[in-house]
């Protein structure tokens, strides 16, 4: 199936970005409305495409569109083409749906910002790039979108770049992403070198003929790319700082969509990982470690957005773990991704709403008892909270428990370890999320005199409510008759259910719920029964201190990469100055010296030049004389 309409999915928001950026101040008054309408138009178009897909049979649902022949060098041919299949449409709807809601939310949230137009231009740019990422029909096209979202993320993290720390945070995100991008570009190169093509369909066809080693290399490189974009170990450090951006950005880019691009990449490349077990195991291990890592950091953060950011890292860890479990987990990873898109966006929008009512205060120790002042925010936040905890029937329950279950059933010691990590993560998640909710909405008021908390305007809470519906009901809809699994089946080819299961689904759910109750209970004991000090206590255990320092991830990066890099750079500067510059200057001095010597022959007197001509003539005559001798 081909279609000519796919490009408009991307073109609409891209047009908005172009108009808003090129029109300048003239677009200040109406620009945000244009951006929102265009984003909404893209969503409606996505819905239309979705309905068209539903009307077709399962094998004929994928739609492609060739835009133009992009690169044609020898045997290397890449068309700029788009492909919309069951996996892509899930993302398209998430991106444009949540994206449009967040556009609406931002109209109110950013209403006092002088640069609101620029903000919406970047948001539209992001939506366009993200759509290109999920619609590209080859790794190279995906790469363009991949870089585009990186750029949009950089611009939006540093949106308030008048603050040096925010600009630094943007740079940090950019650099960390660049490491991952290098992995992706190398993966594309290896894929072309070994498989001769970079299109998804081509790679899928040729993957069978390639050696396992090559596929493992591609898989590991793709994993590096995914860790960079999705803030997984060891490239996770940028996400916490990325909270410098405006809160809608955190909700859209750094929770719901962009950071899940790594999961998309792994799922999209399932044919590679399925053929490379080592790479697949690496994916699962990275996911398991990261979900614990993020959860522990989340439990130590007092900044509400940073706590949520750590939670994002942790939740994406679940998705990566799911994707690393192979055909058993792809569908659940995507399901968790979609559910997470809803509940995390809802949580972030809730956090933004709280900050909006609290003079941009982000320290949870300065909150407390806000449920009376912000009932709608509390309700929507609560829906997200229950969902992330995995309380039935909220969305997280359906997706997260399935991932835990799939991990346990991965077989052998591996399954037990991965499953236990996922279970433990669920408990810690319950602890830190309860801590956030309790510190924010319950207990005594701890804010300062001049702060007057109030509910946010309708333009803000309406999207929150809509998203809260998503976090409440989406899981139920996805699992109704295994809807999402069957939907994605043509793309990820699920295996038949295992014969023997280590733990039954019911048992896993009960275990998870028990642990959740324990975790939540601990948090209630610590933060509701006791008073929360306004200033974070210093006499805490070494573990808390390490967790507050993001489990030393920045220190690690600094000690292992930055300092040696700095020293290397200094050394290179010295080498450059002494050896390279020395050589260059030496050549220069040689030229100057020889030129100075030759210069003396240039007297400017015509007669001396004539003399040289005469001497030359003598040389010629002498040569003839000798030859004829």
Partner 1 sequence: MNPANYLYVSAMLFTIGAIGVVVRRNAIVVFMCIELMLNAANLAFVTFARINGNLDGQVMAFFTMVVAACEVVVGLAIIVTIYRSRRSASVDDASLLRR
Partner 2 sequence: MINLALEVGKTPAPEAILFWILAPLVLLAALGMLLAKKAVHSAILMAWVMITLAIFYIAQDALFLGIVQIVVYTGAVMMLFLFILMLVGIDSKDSLTETIRGLRPIAILAAVGFGGLLISLIGRSTLGHDEVGLATANEAGNVPALAQLLFSRYVWAFEVISALLITAALGAMVLAYNHRITSRPTQRELSEMRFRTGSLANAAGLPNPGVFALHDAVDVPALLPDGTPAPNSISATLEARGDIIDSRPFQLGEMEEEK
Residues of this chain that interact with partner 2 (CB under 8 A) are: 603, 605, 607-608, 611, 614-615, 617-618, 621-622, 624-625, 628
Instruction: Decide which of partner 2, partner 1, none touches 622; Cβ closer than 5 to 8 Å per partner kind.
Output: partner 2
Closer Cβ to partner 1, 495 or 615, answer by number: 615
Query: Nearest-5° angle of CA 76, CA 81, CA 86?
Result: 125
Closer Cβ to partner 2, 507 or 617, answer by number: 617
SS3 per residue for 120-155: HHHHHHHHHHHHHHHHECEHHHHHHHHHHHHHHHHH
Answer yes or no: are the C-beta atoms of 432 and 295 closer than 8 Å.
Answer: yes
CB atoms within 10 A of CB 429: 28
Closer Cβ to partner 2, 573 or 614, answer by number: 614
Closer Cβ to partner 1, 540 or 617, answer by number: 617
Tokens for 140?
Answer: 């190279």
Give the count of alpha carbons within 13 A of 532, CB side only: 28
Closer Cβ to partner 2, 71 or 614, answer by number: 614
Closer Cβ to partner 1, 54 or 617, answer by number: 617
Instruction: Decide which of partner 2, partner 1, none touches 604; Cβ closer than 5 to 8 Å per partner kind.
Output: partner 1
Instruction: Decide which of partner 2, partner 1, none touches 535; Cβ closer than 5 to 8 Å per partner kind.
Output: none
Closer Cβ to partner 1, 48 or 612, answer by number: 612
Instruction: Decide which of partner 2, partner 1, none touches 624; Cβ closer than 5 to 8 Å per partner kind.
Output: partner 2
Q: How many residues bind partner 1 (CB under 8 A)?
A: 10
Instruction: Decide which of partner 1, partner 2, none touches 213; Cβ closer than 5 to 8 Å per partner kind.
Output: none
Q: Least distance from C-beta 598 to partner 1, angstroms?
A: 13
Closer Cβ to partner 2, 561 or 625, answer by number: 625
SS3 per residue for 275-293: HCHHHHHHHHHHHHHHHHH
- Convert 124-163 to b/e letters by CB count within 10 Å (16 or more is b): bbbbbbbbbbbbbbbbbbbbebbbbbbbbbbbbbbbbeee
SS3 per residue for 229-265: HCCCCCCCCHHHHHHHCCHHHHHHHHHHCHHHHHHHH
Answer yes or no: are the C-beta atoms of 268 and 303 closer than 8 Å.
Answer: no
Q: Could you tell me which of 249, 265, 370 has the C-alpha nearest to residue 305?
A: 249
Q: Least distance from C-beta 603 to partner 1, angstroms?
A: 6
Instruction: Decide which of partner 1, partner 2, none touches 413; Cβ closer than 5 to 8 Å per partner kind.
Output: none
Q: Is the dihedral of CA 454, 456, 462, 464 positive or negative?
A: negative
Answer yes or no: are the C-beta atoms of 292 and 313 closer than 8 Å.
Answer: no
CA distance 294 to 312: 8
Closer Cβ to partner 2, 500 or 600, answer by number: 600
Q: Least distance from C-beta 611 to partner 1, angstroms?
A: 5
Q: Least distance from C-beta 628 to partner 2, angstroms?
A: 7
Answer yes or no: are the C-beta atoms of 93 and 86 closer than 8 Å.
Answer: no
Q: Least distance from C-beta 625 to partner 1, angstroms?
A: 13
Closer Cβ to partner 2, 58 or 608, answer by number: 608
**Sites for partner 1 among residues 595-624 (CB under 8 A):** 602-607, 610-611, 614, 617
Q: Least distance from C-beta 608 to partner 2, angstroms?
A: 6
Q: Which helix (H) or strand (E) holds 599?
A: helix 581-599
Closer Cβ to partner 1, 25 or 607, answer by number: 607
CB contact set of 194 (below 8 Å; sequence gap of 6+): 210, 211, 214, 218
- Convert 234-243 to b/e letters by CB count within 10 Å (16 or more is b): bbbbbbbbbb
Instruction: Decide which of partner 2, partner 1, none touches 615; Cβ closer than 5 to 8 Å per partner kind.
Output: partner 2
Instruction: Decide which of partner 2, partner 1, none touches 606; Cβ closer than 5 to 8 Å per partner kind.
Output: partner 1
Closer Cβ to partner 1, 592 or 603, answer by number: 603
CA distance 135 to 622: 79
Q: Least distance from C-beta 21 to partner 1, angstroms?
A: 54
CA distance 180 to 46: 29
CA distance 21 to 342: 29
Give the count of alpha carbons within 13 A of 155, CB side only: 18
Please give the DSSP secondary-structure letter assigned to residue 72.
Answer: E
Please give the DSSP secondary-structure letter assigned to residue 578.
Answer: I
Closer Cβ to partner 2, 496 or 615, answer by number: 615
Instruction: Decide which of partner 2, partner 1, none touches 54; Cβ closer than 5 to 8 Å per partner kind.
Output: none
Q: Least distance from C-beta 25 to partner 1, angstroms?
A: 55
Instruction: Decide which of partner 2, partner 1, none touches 543; Cβ closer than 5 to 8 Å per partner kind.
Output: none
Q: Least distance from C-beta 622 to partner 1, angstroms?
A: 15
DSSP result, 295-333 = HHHHTT--BHHHHHHHHHHHHHHHHHHHHHTGGGTHHHH
The position carrying tokens 């240039």 is 602
Binding interface with partner 1 (CB under 8 A):
602-607, 610-611, 614, 617
């Amino acid at each position: 199936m081909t279609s000519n309409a796919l490009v408009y999915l991307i073109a609409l928001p891209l047009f908005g970005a172009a108009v808003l950026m090129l029109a300048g101040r003239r677009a200040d008054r109406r620009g945000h409305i244009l951006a929102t309408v265009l984003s909404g138009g893209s969503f409606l178009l996505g819905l239309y495409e979705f309905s068209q897909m539903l009307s077709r049979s399962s094998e004929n649902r994928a739609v492609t569109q060739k835009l133009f022949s992009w690169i044609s060098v020898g045997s290397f041919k890449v068309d700029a083409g788009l492909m919309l299949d069951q996996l892509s449409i899930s993302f398209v709807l998430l991106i444009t749906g949540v994206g449009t809601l967040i556009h609406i939310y931002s109209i109110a949230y950013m209403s006092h910002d002088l640069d609101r137009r620029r903000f919406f231009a970047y948001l539209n740019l992001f939506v366009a790039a993200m759509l290109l990422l999920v619609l590209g029909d080859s790794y190279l096209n995906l790469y363009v979108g991949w870089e585009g979202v990186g750029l949009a993320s950089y611009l939006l993290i540093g949106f308030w770049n008048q603050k040096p720390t925010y600009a630094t945070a943007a740079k940090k995100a950019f650099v960390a992403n660049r490491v991952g991008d290098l992995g992706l570009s190398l993966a594309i190169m290896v894929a072309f070198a070994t498989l001769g093509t970079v299109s998804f369909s081509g790679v899928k066809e040729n993957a069978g003929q390639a050696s396992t080693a090559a596929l493992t290399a591609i898989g590991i490189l793709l994993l590096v790319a995914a860790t960079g974009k999705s803030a997984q170990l060891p490239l996770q450090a940028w996400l916490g700082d990325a909270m410098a951006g405006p809160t809608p950005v955190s909700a859209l880019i750094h929770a719901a969509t962009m950071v899940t691009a790594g999961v998309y990449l792994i799922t999209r490349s399932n044919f590679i990982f399925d053929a490379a077990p080592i790479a697949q195991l690496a994916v699962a291990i990275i996911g398991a470690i990261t979900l614990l890592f993020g959860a522990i950091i989340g439990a130590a953060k007092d900044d509400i957005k940073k706590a949520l950011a750590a939670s994002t890292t942790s939740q994406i860890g679940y998705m990566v773990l799911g994707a690393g479990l192979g055909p058993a987990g792809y569908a659940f990873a995507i399901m968790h991704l979609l559910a997470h898109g809803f509940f995390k966006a809802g949580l972030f929008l809730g956090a933004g709403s709280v900050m909006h009512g609290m003079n941009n205060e982000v320290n949870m120790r300065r909150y407390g008892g806000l449920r009376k002042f912000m009932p709608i925010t509390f309700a929507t936040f609560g829906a997200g909270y229950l969902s992330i905890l995995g309380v039935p029937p909220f969305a997280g329950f359906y997706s997260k428990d399935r991932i835990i279950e799939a991990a346990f059933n991965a077989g052998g010691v591996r399954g037990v370890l991965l499953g236990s990590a996922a279970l433990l993560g669920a408990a810690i998640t319950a602890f830190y999320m309860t801590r956030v909710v309790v510190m924010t909405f319950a207990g005594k008021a701890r804010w300062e005199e001049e702060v007057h908390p109030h509910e946010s305007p309708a333009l803000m809470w309406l999207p929150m409510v809509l998203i809260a519906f998503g976090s409440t009901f989406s899981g139920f809809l996805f699992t109704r008759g295994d809807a999402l699994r069957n939907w994605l089946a043509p793309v990820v080819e699920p295996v038949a259910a295992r014969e023997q299961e280590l733990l039954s689904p019911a048992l896993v759910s009960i275990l998870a719920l028990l642990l959740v109750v324990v975790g939540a209970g601990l948090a209630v004991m610590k933060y509701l029964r006791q008073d929360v000090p306004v200033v974070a206590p210093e006499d805490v255990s070494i573990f808390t201190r390490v967790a507050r320092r993001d489990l030393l991830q920045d220190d690690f990066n600094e000690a292992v990469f930055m300092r040696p890099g700095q020293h290397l750079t200094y050394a290179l500067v010295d080498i450059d100055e002494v050896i390279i510059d020395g050589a260059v200057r030496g050549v220069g001095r040689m030229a100057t010296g020889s030129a100075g010597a030759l210069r003396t022959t240039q007297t400017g007197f015509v007669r001396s030049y004539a003399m040289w001509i005469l001497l030359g003539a003598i040389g010629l005559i002498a040569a003839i004389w000798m030859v004829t001798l």
